[in-house]
């Protein structure tokens, strides 16, 4: 199974009631897989006429209390931003998978991490957040799906799973099993027909003075809870490190190799891997910066997450960057070279 198929099966196991999507490379295996498996399970698959329609179909299914998802790649995710903003305003749960490719524009179909800003800053309009998960292996991609649905339901938010073309296409052995999910609040807000109760309304328009401010502050409280409770991050040999390399997703796998080789050469190197990109592991990185060490951020872009690392480090330590944009994938040697140069180790 490739990553794309594995994430699709994992979503089915997690209780996804409906999948809506529009074809785009490098995630075409997701709709293809769903078109076969969802009807087998008696669930819903619709190939939409566009990503605009797909995200609004998710909106409709979610408004009735169903678990719904879509998947796409960068240009399609741009079209979904309107819907994500409306989902956020209406506080509807949704799971969106972005198997990123190179951009801007039509870009290319090579793996990329160029949508970090769009994902973590909210590419749509208005004052909102989405939870963003950045898995770095097919197993983690699989494990992200039930978590994404649970987080979406618990906080009534959009959860974006930010993968890339390598993860989507990669074949790795995975364990697919149903795990016990979180205790979730009842969906008493859902539109089910007002049988024996008052009318439910799902909306994002708040015209009276102060009404939207109130909603925004309610959202802020919710986002603070997410920041407090849901940060996921992995780190390795940071305590004695002279240099800490920060990377997520597939880039983090390459970094891991480079850091191990650096250690073999006697360089005190470690790494930090954010798994939730929002909420960002600001605390962990800030703590690591309490002792003087160099931070190197590696991304498959010209530098996006590096800004969050700088915000976390708050000037306590130097933060440097190495990136490969436009579908370029950094090699272990390239990163090792950076580590050597920054720690003033000549090439051996």
Partner 1 sequence: MMKTVFKRTPTLKDCPTHYCPGCGHGIAHRLIAEIIDELDIRDRTIGIAPVGCAVLAYDYLDVDMVEVAHGRPPAVATGMKRTNPDKIIFSYQGDGDLASIGAAEILHAGHRGEQITVVFINNAVYGMTGGQMAPTTMLDQVTATTPKGRSAAEQGYPLQVSELLATLPGTIYIERCALSSVAQIRKTKKAIKHAFDLQLEGADGMSMVEVLSPCPTYWRMSPTKAMEWLENNMTKVFPLGRLKG
Residue selected from 42, 173, 186, 196 as contacting partner 1 according to rule CB under 8 A: 196
CB distance 133 to 147 below 8 Å: yes
Please state the closest distance from residue 15 (CB atom) to partner 1, in A: 13
Buried b (16+ CB within 10 A) or exposed e, 308-346: bbbebbeeebebbbbbbbebebbebeebbebbbebbeee
Please state the closest distance from residue 109 (CB atom) to partner 1, in A: 25
161 binds partner 1 (CB under 8 A): no
20 binds partner 1 (CB under 8 A): yes
- In this complex, which beta carbon is closest to partner 1, that of residue 175 or of residue 205? 205
CB distance 35 to 71 below 8 Å: no
The number of C-alpha atoms within 13 Å of 74 and in the hemisphere containing its C-beta is 24
CB distance 329 to 111 below 8 Å: yes
Residue selected from 10, 27, 48, 282 as contacting partner 1 according to rule CB under 8 A: 48
Part in contact with partner 1 (CB under 8 A); list of ranges 82-90, 100-108, 175-183, 290-298: 82-90
Strand partners, 297: 246, 321
Radius of gyration of the chain (CA): 21
User: What's the token pair of residue 308?
Assistant: 């969050």
Residue for token pair 């920060």:
246
Please state the closest distance from residue 94 (CB atom) to partner 1, in A: 11
Report which of 76, 84, 71 is spatially closest to residue 124, judged by C-alpha positions: 84
Please state the closest distance from residue 26 (CB atom) to partner 1, in A: 25
Part in contact with partner 1 (CB under 8 A); list of ranges 54-62, 101-109, 222-230, 327-335: 54-62
Query: How far apart are the C-alpha atoms of 297 and 272, rounded to whole Å?
Result: 10
- In this complex, which beta carbon is closest to partner 1, that of residue 22 or of residue 280? 22
217 binds partner 1 (CB under 8 A): no
Task: Say how many Å lie between the first and final Cα of the chain, rounded.
Answer: 40
Part in contact with partner 1 (CB under 8 A); list of ranges 79-87, 130-138, 226-234, 240-248: 79-87
User: What's the token pair of residue 240?
Assistant: 């004695």
Residue selected from 78, 204, 216, 341 as contacting partner 1 according to rule CB under 8 A: 204
Among residue numbers 99 through 158, which ones bind partner 1 (CB under 8 A)?
none
90 binds partner 1 (CB under 8 A): yes
66 binds partner 1 (CB under 8 A): yes
- Would you tell me how many other CB atoms lie within 10 Å of the CB of residue 8? 30
191 binds partner 1 (CB under 8 A): yes
Residue selected from 56, 88, 120, 282 as contacting partner 1 according to rule CB under 8 A: 56
Query: How far apart are the C-alpha atoms of 128 and 20, rounded to whole Å?
Result: 23
- In this complex, which beta carbon is closest to partner 1, that of residue 25 or of residue 204? 204
**Contact residues for partner 1, defined by CB under 8 A:** 17-18, 20, 44, 46, 48-50, 52-54, 56-64, 66, 68, 82-83, 86, 90, 191-196, 199-205
């Amino acid at each position: 199974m490739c990553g794309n198929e594995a994430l699709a099966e994992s979503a089915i196991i997690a209780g996804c009631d409906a999948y809506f999507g529009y074809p785009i490379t490098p995630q075409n295996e997701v709709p293809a897989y769903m078109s076969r498996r969802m009807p087998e399970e008696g669930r819903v698959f619709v190939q939409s006429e566009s990503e605009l329609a797909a995200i609004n179909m998710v909106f409709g299914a979610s408004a009735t209390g169903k678990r719904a998802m879509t998947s796409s790649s960068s240009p399609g995710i741009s079209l979904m931003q309107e819907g994500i903003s409306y989902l956020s305003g209406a506080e509807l749960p949704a799971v969106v998978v972005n198997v990123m490719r190179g951009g801007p524009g039509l870009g290319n179909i090579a793996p990329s991490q160029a949508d970090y800003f769009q994902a973590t800053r909210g590419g749509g309009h208005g004052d909102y957040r989405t939870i963003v998960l950045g898995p770095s292996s097919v197993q983690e991609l699989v494990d992200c799906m039930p978590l994404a649905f649970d987080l979406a339901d618990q906080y009534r938010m959009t959860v974006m799973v930010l993968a890339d073309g390598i993860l989507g296409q990669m074949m790795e052995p995975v364990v697919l099993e149903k795990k016990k999910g979180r205790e979730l609040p009842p969906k008493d807000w859902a539109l089910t027909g007002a049988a024996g109760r008052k009318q439910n309304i799902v909306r994002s328009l708040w015209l009276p003075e102060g009404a939207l401010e109130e909603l925004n502050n309610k959202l802020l409280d919710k986002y603070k809870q997410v920041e407090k409770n849901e940060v996921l991050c992995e780190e390795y040999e940071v305590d004695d490190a002279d240099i800490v390399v920060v990377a997520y997703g597939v880039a983090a796998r390459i970094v891991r190799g480079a850091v191990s080789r650096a250690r073999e050469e006697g360089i005190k190197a470690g790494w930090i891997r954010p798994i939730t990109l929002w909420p960002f592991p600001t605390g962990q990185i800030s703590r690591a910066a309490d002792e003087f060490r160099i931070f190197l951020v590696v991304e498959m872009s010209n530098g996006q997450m590096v800004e969050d690392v700088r915000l976390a480090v708050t000037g306590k330590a130097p933060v440097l960057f190495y990136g490969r944009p436009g579908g370029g994938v950094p090699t272990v040697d390239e990163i090792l070279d950076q580590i050597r140069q920054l720690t003033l180790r000549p090439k051996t």
